[in-house]
Chains A and B, each alone.
Chain A
C-alpha cells in the first residue's frame, strides 16, 4: 500500500497489458465468463470497518462485501461464490478496466468524469454519503467556517482534496493540507495533533472515531461539504451484467419496502401482491429477462436479507460504527432509497 512507485508501476503495466492483450469483447461476456469461472471477482476495500474487512476467521464482512454476495446469490443461487479482491483507491478502476474483477463494490463515489472518461458504468447508489470534518472537541470548534489556518489531514486517491478546496476557496479560508498514502499514518497524525482536522466521508469518519482511544474526544462538524453517492461499478458496454448488478441492489431496496425479510421471505411466496409475486419468481419470468434463474431475487433475500438488514448488520446503531439511516432510508420514510417497479 505504501510502495507507491511499485503500485503505480504495477497498475500502469496492468492497464497497458489489459489494453494490449485483453480483447474488449466485453459486451454480454461478463455473465458467461462468471458462470464459466464459477465465481464472481469482487473488488473491495482491504480494510474498512463496516464496509469490507476480514473478521478473525478470515471471512470478509461488511456492507460492500454483502452487496457482492447478493449478486452471487442472484447468479449462482448461493452467496459464497465470490472471490474478494482487496484494492486500494489508486488501482480500483484499472483493476476493473483490465478485467481483474467483475464488479467494484468499494465505497466508490459516482461522479460525472469517472462515469464518462474511465470506460465504466455505475450501478444504483447503495449509500448516500458526504465528506465531513472531524476535530478534537478541546478546540471548541462548532462549524467549518471557523477553520481558517487549520492543518487538515487527508488521504489521496479520492475526491476529498478537491472537495475541500471547492468548499473552502469561495469562503476565503486558507488551510494547510497534509496528504497521507497510508491510513495508519493519516489517523496517527490526527490523533497526535499534527493536524487539527481530519477529513473523509462521514461514514469513514465514524470508523476513524471508532478506533480512537477515547472516541468521545472527537466531534464530527455539522457541515457536509460534498455529495458522495457510493455505488457499485461495472465495465461499460455490457448491459446485461450491469442490469444484474443494478437489479440485485434494487431487490434489496424493494424487499425492505415490501416488508420482505430474510426470515419471512418463504411466507411471502404466498403473498397476493402481484409485484411481490413477480419479484420472487412466483409469477412471470423476470429472471429469464436477466438470463438468470427465476428465483434470483428470492435467493438474494433468503441468503442475505433486505437493504435494512444489511445496513443494521454492518453499519447500524448496534455496530461500532453506530450510523443512523439518515438519507439512506426508504423514500416512503423520508429517505432517498427508491427502487423502480418490478414489472
Chain B
C-alpha cells in the first residue's frame, strides 16, 4: 500500500507542496509574459525598420560633457559617455546625502530645542523646504546663483587666485598624477586604520576595565600611511593657477553653478525630511530614559549621545534609507538646470541614436542597481545599530 504522501493526488493537497507550486506558477507566468513582450517588441521594431540592440554603445559619442572624472572626449564611445554620466550622478548624490544628513541632524535637534526662537526657525525651515516641489527649488537656486553672482569677466576675488562668478567657483589646483592618487589611497587607508586601532583599544578597555591614553596611537595610524606614501612616491607640487582668458577663467578647479544649485537643492530639500525623521526618532525614546540617565549623573549631552541617540537610531535608520534613495533618484532632475548627469547623457545618446528603449533600459538598470546597493548598505548599518534584545 502506497504511503499517503507519495500519491500524486494526495500530494496536491499538501500545504507545503501547494505553496511551492503556486510560486513556480507565478514565476513562470511573470517570466513568460516578460519573454513574450520582449520578443514581440523586438519583432515589431524590426518590422518597422527601427534599429535595435546595444551595438551603438561602441560607436563614438561625438559630443562633449563639461564635467568628467574619467578621461573622456568626444571621440570616446557612447558607453564611456554613459559611464561619465553615472559618475557625475554618484558624485552629486554623495555630496547631497552628506549635506542633507548634517543639516537634517542639526535642524531636527533644533526643532526640539527649549529655545522658542530656535525651534520656530527650525520649523519654518522644515515647512518651507518640505512643501514646495524640488524642481521649483532647483530653478530658484540656479536663478539665484546666475543672477546674484557677476559674469565671469567681472568675477569677484574674495582671496587672491580665487574667483567667484556665475561661471562657478574657481580655485587653484594641484597638477594631478599617479603619485597623487597613491597618496590619496594611502590617506583613505589611514582613516580605515585609525578606526581599526580605535576599535581595538575600545575592546581592550571594555575587557580590562582600565582606561588608557588612545589618541597618539590613533593619530599615528591616521597619518603614517599618507606620510609614507609621500616619501615613497614623491609627488611633485605643481600648482595649476587660474588665469583670466578672454571668455572664461582657465586652469584651477571649477565648481560649476549647475553642480552647486543641484547640490544645494537636493541637500536642503532632503534635509527637511531628515530633520523630521530625526525629531521623530528622538521623541520615540521615552521620557523615562532621560530621567533615568540624569539620575545616574549623566549630563544632557552625554544622555543624548550615549542613551537617547543609540535608541533613536533604530527608528531613524529605516526612513533615512528611503530619504537617501529619493535623493539619489531625484538627482535626475539635474537636466533641468544643465548638470551633466546620467539622464542628460542618456538623453543626448537616445536623441542621437534614436534608440529610446535601450537607453531607458540602461538607465533604469543603473538606478535600480545603485538603489539596491544603497538599500543593502543601509540594511547592514541598521542591523548593526539596532538594539540587541536581551
Contact = CB atoms under 8 A, between A and B. Distances in A.
A159 B63 CA distance: 10
Given A19-B48, A157-B351, A177 B64 contact: yes
B37 interface: yes
Interface residues of B, number: 57
A213 interface: no
A161 B247 contact: no
A108 to B, nearest CB: 12
A171 to B, nearest CB: 13
Given A24-B47, A119-B50, A4 B354 contact: no
Contact of B45 (A12, A19, A176): A19
A90 B338 contact: no
Contacts of A139: 246-247
B51 A185 contact: no
Interface stretch (A63-71, A162-170, A249-257, A297-305): A162-170
Contacts of A194: 146, 151, 166-167, 257
A116 to B, nearest CB: 8
A147 interface: yes
Contacts of A181: 335-336, 344, 347
B336 A4 contact: yes
Interface string A1-13: 0111100110110
A89 B151 contact: no
Interface residues of A, number: 60
Nearest to A23: B44
B48 A97 contact: yes
A151 interface: yes
Given A119-B50, A165-B64, A192-B147, A185 B142 contact: yes
Contacts of A93: 354
Interface in B213-255: 245-248, 250
Contacts of B351: 89-90, 156-158
A16 B336 contact: no
Contacts of B258: 178
A115 B337 CA distance: 31
Nearest to A168: B64
Contact of B37 (A16, A18, A236): A16
Contacts of A59: none
Nearest to B151: A193
B365 interface: no
Interface string B63-81: 1111000000010000000
Given A151-B167, A180-B337, A196-B247, 16 more contacts: A2-B336, A11-B356, A15-B357, A19-B41, A24-B48, A119-B50, A139-B247, A147-B247, A157-B351, A161-B64, A165-B62, A176-B248, A177-B64, A189-B338, A192-B147, A194-B151
CB-based closest 10 A-B pairs: A193-B151, A19-B44, A119-B48, A117-B51, A12-B360, A150-B247, A161-B63, A181-B335, A119-B49, A157-B351
12 contacts: A2-B333, A4-B332, A20-B44, A22-B44, A24-B44, A149-B245, A157-B347, A165-B62, A179-B338, A181-B347, A193-B150, A194-B167
